């Protein structure tokens, strides 16, 4: 696919420049601040590594909503948010919400008449609705609506993106987004049911993977990813990581720091020069050339959403 082709150093530097520029533009409406004194109609907080959740957030937003990136808002010193409607859109990681979403929730307060949460996932959402519901309740928030939308699975050790793109599930995405948007616009009260089979699948996964059940994908980037010799030092990874955990050393990207395992760096590297370190019992990624970014979302969008400017 066009967006999977590697680009040369000059082009990569140009893309990076665009991304850095977009970080510096202060008040584009997409990321308008919540503390501007006026009560927002609909506030949507999103986290997205490869664009699926950002695309869904935009589609649900309509014209009146304000989108706020969780990777940026997690640094807000006064994380108090109020709106008519407040929503959360994020990928599902190991059946639950990414650690950064949990951390943002834990340090923030929310006030609204209607709350919703939408997870994007590739294969199985299982206990996500219950997890979100419980997490929200702990912060005094009663979610009115929780659902999930199946999209391309970005977890490379288990899923080959080329196969994912050929999967008929992709055709159903627009319809699912429209259903979810209509339900939210109608202020429906609905929580996607969790079945006994969902619970068993989840239990089996956690037992065999031995991942932490609360923060299964929170780790250190140096344990998960590395830049190969194909790295040209363009720095896209340094501007894209939600934790700012990449730096350039002698023109080569080096991973060090907190990591969500979101794989934003792996999928969005213009040279496809970032790979995943195999962690048994998980398999090696089946196709090192298959990388994904939601076709409706640009690299500059993701840099703007996730980029951390470090001193
Ligand atoms: C670390 C990791 C864990 C994931 N775990 C699950 C999962 O438990 N179930 C599932 O169906 N998809 C899982 N996925 C796939 C993502 O939830 C899915 O591709 C999502 O739409 C990506 O959203 P984004 O493009 O906004 O980052 C996982 C992806 C990653 C990177």
pLDDT tens, N- to C-terminus, the chain (311 residues) = 333 444 455 555 554 554 444 444 333 333 344 455 667 799 999 999 999 999 999 999 988 899 999 999 999 999 999 999 999 999 999 999 999 999 999 999 999 999 999 999 999 999 999 999 999 999 999 999 999 999 999 999 999 999 999 999 999 999 999 999 999 999 999 999 999 999 999 999 999 999 999 999 999 999 999 999 999 999 999 999 999 999 999 999 999 999 999 999 999 999 999 999 998 888 999 999 999 999 999 999 999 999 996 65
How far, in Å, is the centroid of ligand 1 from the Cα of 26? 30
Q: Which fold has domain 219-306?
A: Alpha-Beta Plaits (3.30.70)
Residue 260 CA: nearest ligand 1 atom is 1
Q: Which residues line ligand 1 (CB under 6 A)?
A: 48-53, 91-95, 120-125, 151-155, 217, 261-263, 294
* Model pLDDT, residue 271: 98
How far, in Å, is the centroid of ligand 1 from the Cα of 122? 6
Contact 122, 167 (CB under 8 A): no
- Residue closest via CA to ligand 1's atom 27 equals 49
H helices present in the chain, as ranges: 9-24, 52-61, 70-73, 99-107, 128-138, 161-166, 173-185, 196-209, 221-224, 236-240, 264-268, 299-306
* Model pLDDT, residue 32: 40
How far, in Å, is the centroid of ligand 1 from the Cα of 33? 27
Task: Name the residue of 57, 60, 155 whose CB sits within 8 Å of the most ligand 1 atoms, as the mutation to test its pocket.
Answer: 155
Residue 81: its H or E element: strand 80-91
How far, in Å, is the centroid of ligand 1 from the Cα of 109? 26
Pairing of strands 190-191, 219-220: unpaired
How far, in Å, is the centroid of ligand 1 from the Cα of 101? 14
Distance CA(43)–CA(231), nearest Å, equals 38
* 263-291: b (≥16 Cβ within 10 Å) or e: bbbbbbbbbbbbbbeeeeeeeebeeeebb
Question: Which CATH superfamily includes the segment(s) 26-209?
Answer: Flavodoxin domain (3.40.50.360)
- Residue closest via CA to ligand 1's atom 9 equals 124
Residue 46 CA: nearest ligand 1 atom is 26
Contact 55, 30 (CB under 8 A): no
* Model pLDDT, residue 62: 84
Residue 124 CA: nearest ligand 1 atom is 11
152, 155, 160, 164 alpha-carbon torsion, rounded to 10°: -10
* Model pLDDT, residue 270: 98
How far, in Å, is the centroid of ligand 1 from the Cα of 2? 22
- Residue closest via CA to ligand 1's atom 23 equals 91
Distance, CA of 102 to chain centre: 13
Distance CA(145)–CA(133), nearest Å, equals 9
* Model pLDDT, residue 302: 98
What is the pTM (predicted TM-score) of this model? 0.90
Domain boundaries, the chain: 26-209, 219-306
């Amino acid at each position: 696919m066009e967006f999977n082709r590697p680009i040369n150093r000059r082009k990569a530097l140009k893309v990076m420049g665009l991304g850095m520029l977009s970080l510096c533009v202060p008040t584009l409406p997409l990321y308008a601040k919540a503390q501007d004194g006026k009560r927002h109609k609909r506030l949507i907080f999103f986290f997205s590594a490869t664009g699926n959740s950002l695309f869904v957030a935009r589609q649900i937003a309509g014209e009146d909503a304000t989108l706020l990136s969780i990777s940026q808002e997690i640094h807000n010193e006064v994380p108090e948010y109020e709106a008519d409607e407040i929503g959360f859109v994020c990928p599902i990681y190991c059946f639950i919400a990414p650690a950064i979403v949990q951390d943002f929730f834990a340090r923030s307060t929310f006030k609204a008449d209607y709350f919703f949460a939408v997870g994007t996932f590739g294969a199985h959402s299982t206990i996500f609705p219950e997890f979100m519901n419980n997490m929200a309740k702990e912060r005094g928030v009663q979610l009115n609506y929780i659902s999930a939308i199946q999209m391309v699975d970005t977890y490379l050790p288990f899923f080959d993106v080329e196969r994912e793109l050929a999967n008929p599930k992709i055709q159903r995405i627009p319809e699912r987004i429209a259903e979810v948007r209509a339900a939210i616009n109608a202020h429906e009260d609905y929580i996607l049911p969790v079945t006994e089979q969902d619970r068993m699948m989840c239990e089996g996964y956690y037992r065999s993977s031995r991942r932490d059940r609360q923060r299964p994908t929170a780790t250190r980037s140096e344990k998960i990813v590395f830049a190969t010799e194909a790295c040209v030092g363009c720095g896209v990874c340094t501007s894209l990581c939600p934790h700012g955990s990449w730096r350039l050393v002698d023109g080569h990207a080096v991973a060090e720091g907190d990591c969500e395992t979101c794989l934003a760096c792996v999928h969005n590297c213009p040279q496809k020069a970032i790979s995943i370190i195999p962690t048994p019992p998980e398999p090696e990624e089946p196709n090192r050339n298959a990388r994904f970014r939601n076709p409706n979302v640009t690299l500059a969008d993701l840099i703007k959403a996730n980029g951390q400017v470090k001193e």
